[in-house]
Chains A and B, each alone.
Chain A
Amino acid sequence: MEDVISFEDLPTDAFVQILLRIAPSKRRRLRLVCRRWRNVIDSRAPVRQSRVKTLVYLPAGTAAYVLDDLAEGCYRELWNSAANPDPPACYSRVRMVGTCNGLICLYDECTGDIVLLNPVTGETLDIPGPPGHRLRQQGFTYHEATERYKIVHLAVNEGALEAVELLTLGEDASWRKMRAPARSICSLWFGVVSDDQATYWITRNTGDADMLRSFDLTNERLEPVRSLPAAANKFFVGCLRKVHGRLCVGVHIRDYENNTEIDEMWLLEREGWRCRFYLTTRRCMQEVSLPPPVVVEEEVKEVLSETAVSVSRPRPPEPEKEVVKRRLERKEEEEASESVASAAAEKAKAKCGGEREGEQKAVVGGMEKGRARTRTPEQRRPKEAGNGRTRSPSPHGSSILALIALLFFATAATPPPSRSVIFLGSFRSPGTAAMFADGVAAYDAGLARGEWVHNAILHQLNVCIHPGV
């Protein structure tokens, strides 16, 4: 008996026990051993299909990149305004508000409109901006407790926070205003960060130390301030970001003697602030006026992953003007990809707030099969159609759609990210922008990836990444 047996005959239950003791990352590789191993892993000890993809959206809408493989450092340009025949000035007005669950929230400074887009399906949704205000700083997030997407706008007047305005998708589509206490000085240029519970920013009162302020999304009220890492008050706050789902404060230190700038990254962990890594940057003799990249943390959940896994193969990018029309046509034609999207859409729709909100479910809910197919763009409300056929030649429309198309291109081939991390950028001085391909990866692997980023995109800079102190 012993002579003929092999591990292939091992009872499945025992084999599953073994597999479960192996880390998912390693288990995944075992799928290559033989069919049985693959089948058992897939059916009994599945490896969560968590894929990393990072989207880099250069500010002022000049270009967007997807980083395909952080380890190898390969990336693709998704979109570039220079390649577009329309005047680039208009792109510079489209800013990214944030991303959440794979949806991207953009703000058009020309029109004051907010556009939500789903790069997986190419759906867009126009959302009215907050009334009476130029949208300055805002957050876009998914509120776990109420299962709603929320956009938070911090209405600032002469440096003081006047009110927090909140729009909840799937509700009545109006902005609700919460007055802020008097003399709430805020420093929004460091960044506004949202997680599933709150929106955070830095507040600064004259003569006082910088503090962290937050707006709680559950209770819809401002929370008491909390302190920043001590280093932030000793030197300069560089930026406020989200890293690995945690708040991160970049502290900027200038070392004039060595002609170097150091950026320490302090993460708010359970025990408090901790410096997880830092960057050193050799200062260039002449300042490079390169706008810092906006790098987003993508958090596509299973819903969207499923969609993308089975969406048909991507096609090469098309001339911009064709994109809009074709996209709409495709919607009618592509039974396959549509039906796939619909399953995910059902779920996504539920998340976004169900049936009631006719307009607002367009982005997410619009992925819904029947609706997407039966509705022609003209049947949609006029505004929404503005991003479709009717307004397609407008620079704004096509720029966004170009982005959609290209993002679609990027994400359809391979499942979209369940997580990707890049966070730096927007440092105080131009020329010291830097980003991490992946906070952890950069932390672990150090220079290689930092240099790659430096070589690939920020070639003007000389950035090194070090483990924290």
Chain B
Amino acid sequence: MAAATDDAGDSNEMIRVVSSDGEHFEMPEAAANLSLVLRHMIEDDCADAAGIPLAVVAAKPLAKIVDYCTKHAAKSSGLTIEEAEELKRFDAEFIEVDTDMLYDLLVAADFMGVEGLSKLAVQRTADLIKGKTPEQNRETFGIVNDFTPEEEEEICKENEWAFQITKPPSRLC
């Protein structure tokens, strides 16, 4: 914990950000630095009292992202095993969101350049997609099936050949 306090102590300054719908948020500079976009703004001295405007990030996902960054910044270095575990648990809970929020997080993390969160959201989405039939995926993600029945049949045919088990490398020893 000592290391974490030190980290936070290095950058006492709070960074203000403004969501697309005008809400203001604050986070420690160390947290803001996790976002590539915010870090560049800070480095360029664009972080003033009015706050950095984030034109495409709404308040709801921004609140989550501030949460995420604050948590991760506080535990960025010198983690003990328990702390790493705790961070993992935090991530797991953090990403338990509905698909709307997941979408917002994907887009916002991508836009703001928060690498860890991007990865987390990408993995979560992949996990959601994985186990579902195409129809279930359409339902889950609000997608309209725009194939004609003929096209669909064609793809099904192609997929017949999907029966495949990955081949191990063919070298002998």
Contacts and interface: CB of A to CB of B under 8 A. Distances in A.
A246 B172 contact: yes
A323 B55 CA distance: 70
B143 A6 contact: yes
Interface string B121-153: 011011001100110011001111111000010
Given A1-B20, A7-B143, A14-B118, A32 B134 contact: yes
Nearest to B170: A245
B164 A25 contact: yes
A319 B19 CA distance: 76
A196 B172 CA distance: 10
Contacts of B137: 30, 33
A34 B138 contact: yes
A21 B162 CA distance: 18
A345 to B, nearest CB: 23
Contact of A34 (B104, B145, B173): B145
> Which of B100, B165, B173 is most buried by chain A, counting CB atoms within 10 A of its CB?
B165
B77 interface: no
Contacts of A268: 172-173
B154 to A, nearest CB: 10
A245 B169 contact: yes
> Which of B123, B144, B166, B170 is most buried by chain A, counting CB atoms within 10 A of its CB?
B170
Interface in A241-286: 244-247, 268-270
B167 A38 contact: no
Nearest to B161: A51
B157 to A, nearest CB: 8
A196 B170 contact: yes
A70 B110 CA distance: 43
A444 interface: yes
Interface residues of B, number: 47
Contact of A7 (B99, B110, B167): B99
Contacts of B172: 195, 197-198, 245-247, 268
A11 B162 contact: no
Interface residues of A, number: 54
B106 A14 contact: yes
Contacts of B100: 2, 5
A47 B162 CA distance: 9
A28 B162 contact: yes
> Which of B58, B106, B161 is most buried by chain A, counting CB atoms within 10 A of its CB?
B161
Given A7-B142, A14-B118, A33 B134 contact: yes
> Which of B104, B118, B162 is most buried by chain A, counting CB atoms within 10 A of its CB?
B162
A37 B151 CA distance: 14
A13 interface: yes
B141 A7 contact: yes
Contact of B155 (A6, A38, A246, A270): A38
Given A7-B142, A18-B126, A245-B167, A25 B155 contact: no
A274 to B, nearest CB: 12
B134 A8 contact: no
A28 B143 contact: no
Contacts of B141: 6-8
Interface in B84-135: 99-100, 103-104, 106-107, 110, 118, 122-123, 125-126, 129-130, 133-134
Contact of A29 (B58, B99, B159, B171): B159
B163 A71 contact: yes
B156 interface: yes
Interface string A24-53: 011011111111011000000001011110
Nearest to B168: A244
B58 A2 contact: yes
Nearest to B144: A34
B107 A10 contact: yes
Contacts of B159: 28-29, 31-32
8 contacts: A2-B100, A6-B103, A10-B107, A11-B110, A23-B130, A29-B162, A32-B159, A414-B161
Given A30-B137, A196-B170, 5 more contacts: A8-B141, A21-B123, A38-B155, A195-B171, A245-B169
The 5 A-B pairs of least Cβ separation, nearest first, read A245-B170, A7-B141, A21-B126, A51-B161, A32-B134
Interface of A: 1-2, 5-8, 10-11, 13-14, 17-19, 21-23, 25-26, 28-35, 37-38, 47, 49-52, 69-71, 195-198, 244-247, 268-270, 414-415, 419, 438, 440-441, 444
